Structure 1
Amino acid sequence: MAELLSDPEIDSALTDLPAWRRDGATLVRTIESTSFPAAIVLVDRVAEAAESMNHHPDIDIRWRTVTYTLSTHSAGGITAADLELARRIDALASSPPTP
Structure 2
Amino acid sequence: MPDREPLSEAEIQDALARLDGWTFENDAIHKTYEFDDFREAISFIVQMAFYAEEANHHPELENVYNSVTLSFTTHDAGSKVTDMDIELARTIDDALGA
Same fold per superposition (TM over 0.5): yes
User: What is the distance in 1 between the residues matched to 2:21 and 2:39?
Assistant: 22
User: What is the distance in 1 between the residues matched to 2:11 and 2:51?
Assistant: 24
Q: Which residue matches 2:64?
A: 62
Structure 1 unaligned spans of 5+: none
Structure 1 stretches of at least 4 aligned residues deviating more than 4 Å after TM superposition: none
Q: Which residue matches 2:10?
A: 8
Total equivalences in the alignment = 95
Cα-Cα RMSD: 1.4
Shift of 1:91: 1.8
Query: What is the identity percentage for the equivalent residue pairs of Structure 1 and Structure 2?
Result: 37
Question: Which of 68, 71, 74 is the matching residue for 2:73?
Answer: 71
After superposition, the C-alpha distances for 1:29-77 in whole angstroms (9 at most, x for unaligned) are: 0001111111111100110000000000001010111100000011120
Q: Which residue matches 1:31?
A: 33
In the superposition, the TM-score normalised over structure 2's length comes to 0.90
